[in-house]
Amino acid sequence: MKKTSTRLADGRELVYYDLRDDTVRDAVDRRPLERTVTTSEIRQDPLLGDSVAIASHRQGRTYHPPANECPLCPSQGERLSEIPDSSYDVVVFENRFPSLAGDSGRCEVVCFTSDHNASFAELTEEQVGLVLDAWTDRTSELSHLPSVDQVFCFENRGAEIGVTLGHPHGQIYAYPFTTPRTALMLRSLATHKEATGGENLFDAVLERELAGERVVLEGEHWVAFVPYAAHWPYEVHLYPKRRVPDLLGLDEAARTEFPQLYLELLRRFDRIFGEGEPPTPYIAAWHQAPFGTLDEFDGVSRDDFALHLELFTIRRTSGKLKFLAGSESGMNVFINDVPPERAAERLREVASS
């Protein structure tokens, strides 16, 4: 992998990740852009204790542009985009309309390929390996920023999810705090560790799932399963078998095997609802240990956390979506219409091409 860092016309950082070491990236952003001005602010809810990002400047962000005006395609001639060069393998840049900025963290866009009409599932294993390298490098770089406590790499796929740019891409949020979902996991880790005399909860969950009926895919270094208490109709968790706290902890063997298993999983997701159905909308979310202090979680260290990816769709059956209505949105109590065992069975029986 070759990494080349540059700056866009308004001062935002852009990083090329290339498969070839001899690739030269010297294109200049020719757009007449002014410095980006953001109004991002973090406010804490006094009753719930969680944090909310207030970012009114995002109202003006790019919304469903035609393909020939996509800001994530490479620049061609006088059609200038966010990527100055005329081609790229993988590129990461600071979001022009970030939810988090400055002392409130940072948001980045990850473009998986220059092919506007592709999807992550259509990438080669070599391309996915490069994306994994980019996620890992960005996790390392962002973790050193003084305003960053936790790094979250994710992909939203599909208009049903709320994606406003059709180009295959993901995002990275670097939060200035430990996110509520991660804090819940850390509290459960601490409680279980104390109650069992030191047993790791992630290890216990993984051991139970490996022995059960909800495993979807298994390799030498990774396993994918539908969790016992899945929140979503089709939800799969992908774990490395050797517990590591973050992407930086993966060894070469796990990094090599990941593209094969992840591509197979995404291709099966596209076949859940049968031939002729539109692509399955999904969210793919990496869960990594925070980089800040864990003092509030008694007896838990970063090494107790288990890196994993959670992949889920909001489609519950053909032509029908799972909406977060009263119970889910009002009380955060999910109701799942698809038994996890049936979801795992369905994901095992669909063959990818």
How many CB atoms are located within 10 Å of the residue 66 CB? 7
Cα–Cα dist 104/263, whole Å:
34
169 labelled catalytic = yes
Tell me the DSSP string of 226-262.
--TT-SSSEEEEEEESS--SSGGG--HHHHHHHHHHH
Distances (CA, A) of 82 to 69, 207, 220, 338: 11, 45, 39, 41
Cα–Cα dist 70/66, whole Å:
6
Token pair of 295 as six digits: 């003092």
Cα–Cα dist 42/37, whole Å:
16
Cα–Cα dist 146/102, whole Å:
10
CB neighbour class for 308 (10 Å; exposed up to 12, middle 13-18, buried from 19): buried
- φ, ψ of residue 79 to 5 degrees: the values are -90, 100
Closest by CA to 166, choosing from 174, 156, 176, 175, is 156
Helices 201-210, 180-195: axis angle to 10 degrees equals 90
Q: Find the radius of gyration of the CA atoms of the chain.
A: 20
173 φψ region: left (φ > 0), alpha (ψ -120 to 50), beta (else): beta
Contact status, residue 69 vs residue 58, Cβ threshold 8 Å: no
What count of residues does the chain have? Answer: 353
Cα–Cα dist 233/326, whole Å:
17
Cα–Cα dist 34/40, whole Å:
18
Q: State the catalytic residue, choosing from 169, 221, 237, 287.
A: 169
Residues labelled catalytic: 169
